[in-house]
Structure 1
Amino acid sequence: MWALTPLESVGPLQFGMSMDQAAAALPEIPELRRFQAEPWFPEVVGIQLGVSREEPAVHEYFDGSGQLFCVAIDAVRGPQVTMDGAELVGGDPARLEEWLFDLPDSMGGVSYGPRGNPGMNGLGLVLRVQDTPTGLVTRPVLVGRDWADRCADDWEGAIPECEWVGHVWPHPFLAPGVHVWPSAGQEPAWAGRWTPPF
């Protein structure tokens, strides 16, 4: 079980670490592969860790200067991440969305990105969903202090493009039939020159 210290660390990973420091912090979770996490910024490197490519547990993202700025935890195989007793990994989306709203206003309030994902800049936290055999459950995406501004905004925030691809947050205001992004038949701006790594 990993504790979240908002904007500073998640478990043994501290935002701002180098790739070597992050690898040393997680000696029990092997690196599976490295990939380009952003279509427009090739210097943003993603590192997938876990037992096998089919069983990733953690995704780390490093900016152009080689600093760890974002961590995403797999909803099924990742370590549980807690904050003030709340379990953020593999949880019920509606319950965790309500938990966000129950947090003190001093943390900055909940904001939503264009695809409906709730987050809090003051925590450096965005809740995404991941499809599992039991349905959609939460996949937390976390950023450090220097990258937290507008973190829930999938157009202007720092979270890499590859983390936004896939199932969208379940909300009644979504157009009927819209469950994933990009939707079937949609041509995103990066089509033909970049492919999401997972």
Structure 2
Amino acid sequence: MSELRRFQADPWFPKTLGVEFGAGRGRPAVSCYFIDGRLFCVAVDAVHGPQVTLRGRELAACAPADLERFLLHADERGVLDVAYGPRGNPGVNGLGLVLRVQEAGGGVVTRPVMVGRGFADRCTDDWEGAIPECEWRGRPWPPADSSESRSSSGGRTYWGEGNSAKPAS
């Protein structure tokens, strides 16, 4: 991957540097965020980024309702401690994981945003957490009963333009 651009990632914290990396045609695949030269947050593009898994479950490019069911099942079993932030995004503060959505293929799919252990506490909270403001912009997490939250691909993961869907784990 090569560096595509650098930008100020958070208007409230001018020392937060964002760097987009991509491959191929220069489309961003991963956004990394640094404070004083130290990486603290990584956000994966749902369409062009790499796949990220949690306990064998793919987290990028999934139907929001499908992934939310997985998280809630893990929460019920005591495997994960799922939390919801003020904007309705699910995540696991102990792991430093927040799930966001982005538009792709005529609907919305999931994109993981992760912070390091030192920043994991309250990461689902867009006000008190460490995730830069630019990562909170965009589509809100759809309600579970919303048609855009459900899989239109029969439980298959959307994976980029012109590519066939990969089966969800």
Do the structures match in fold with TM over 0.5?
A: yes
1:73 aligned to which of 19, 39, 44? 44
- CA deviation string 1:113-162 (max 9, x = no partner): 11110111112110000001231000100011000011010111000000
Hey, what's the Cα distance between the residues in 1 that align with 2:141 and 2:55?
A: 23
Hey, what's the Cα distance between the residues in 1 that align with 2:68 and 2:144?
A: 14
Give the aligned residue type for 1:78. G
Q: CA RMSD in A?
A: 1.9
Is 1:47 matched with 2:26? no
Hey, what's the Cα distance between the residues in 2 that align with 1:84 and 1:106?
A: 10
The residue aligned with 2:160 is: none
Q: Unpaired runs of 5+ in structure 2?
A: 147-169
The residue aligned with 2:165 is: none
- CA deviation string 1:158-189 (max 9, x = no partner): 00000000000001699xxxxxxxxxxxxxxx
Hey, what's the Cα distance between the residues in 2 that align with 1:59 and 1:126?
A: 14
Is 1:160 matched with 2:143? no
**Identity rate of aligned residues, in percent?**
61
Question: How high is the TM-score relative to the length of structure 2?
Answer: 0.79
Hey, what's the Cα distance between the residues in 2 that align with 1:80 and 1:49?
A: 15
The residue aligned with 2:30 is: 58
Contact residue 22 and residue 30 of structure 2 kept, 8 A: yes
Give the aligned residue type for 2:107. G
Hey, what's the Cα distance between the residues in 2 that align with 1:36 and 1:132?
A: 25
Give the aligned residue type for 1:158. A
Contact residue 32 and residue 53 of structure 1 kept, 8 A: no
Partner secondary structure for residue 97 of structure 1: helix
- CA deviation string 1:26-70 (max 9, x = no partner): xxx00001100000111000000013786110000012x321110
The residue aligned with 2:163 is: none
Partner secondary structure for residue 102 of structure 1: helix
Farther off after superposition, 154-163 or 130-139? 130-139
The residue aligned with 1:123 is: 95
The residue aligned with 1:137 is: 109
**CA displacement at 1:105 relative to structure 2:** 2.4
Hey, what's the Cα distance between the residues in 2 that align with 1:51 and 1:157?
A: 30
The number of equivalent residue pairs is 144
Contact residue 34 and residue 41 of structure 2 kept, 8 A: yes
Question: How high is the TM-score relative to the length of structure 1?
Answer: 0.68
The residue aligned with 1:105 is: 78
Partner secondary structure for residue 166 of structure 1: coil
The residue aligned with 1:94 is: 65
Hey, what's the Cα distance between the residues in 2 that align with 1:60 and 1:171?
A: 28
Hey, what's the Cα distance between the residues in 2 that align with 1:173 and 1:41?
A: 36
Q: Unpaired runs of 5+ in structure 1?
A: 1-28, 175-198
